[in-house]
Homo-oligomer: A and B are copies of this chain.
Amino acid sequence: MAENTITDRDNVFFEAGIKLGALYHQFTGSPVSLRTVESLETAIAQSISVQPCVEKITVSIDRDMVRSKLNDEFGYCELEGRMLNVQIDAKYGSVMAHVSMEFNKELDYPLMKIDKIY
């Protein structure tokens, strides 16, 4: 196969990236408290699960970070990218990949990365 032919492998990573970018920019900024964090996790996972190529998705929001960011006066904060731990299995054709987003302390950045292909 020619090197410049687009493969299922190329597409599975492209599609997986789309999902992480979509999730991040759709839902960060949502008002959240410790009381409401679970419903937000559920809705985010279910929302992204309807999109093409998503085999499985889990979303977890770091309660400790939420707690530390709660405004003293108002008792809530906003969902930030660094609070999110997202694990996605994506499939395109016969190719399956696992990608994730998790806060990387060293980089001080909510890092999206490819974990494996199988």
A49 at the A/B interface (Cβ < 8 Å)? yes
Q: How many copies does the complex hold?
A: 4
Which parts of A1-21 form the interface with B (CB within 8 Å)? 3-4, 6, 9-11, 13-21
Interface size class of A (residues with CB under 8 A): 35 or more
Contact with B along A30-64 (1 / 0, CB 8 A): 11110110011011101111111000000000000
Across the interface, do A118 and B17 meet the contact criterion of CB distance under 8 Å?
no
- Confirm or deny: A103 has a beta carbon within 8 angstroms of a beta carbon on chain B: no
CB atoms of A51 and B73 under 8 A apart: no
Q: Is the CB of B50 within 8 A of A32?
A: yes
Given A13-B13, A14-B14, A43-B39: A50 touches B75 (CB 8 Å cut-off): yes
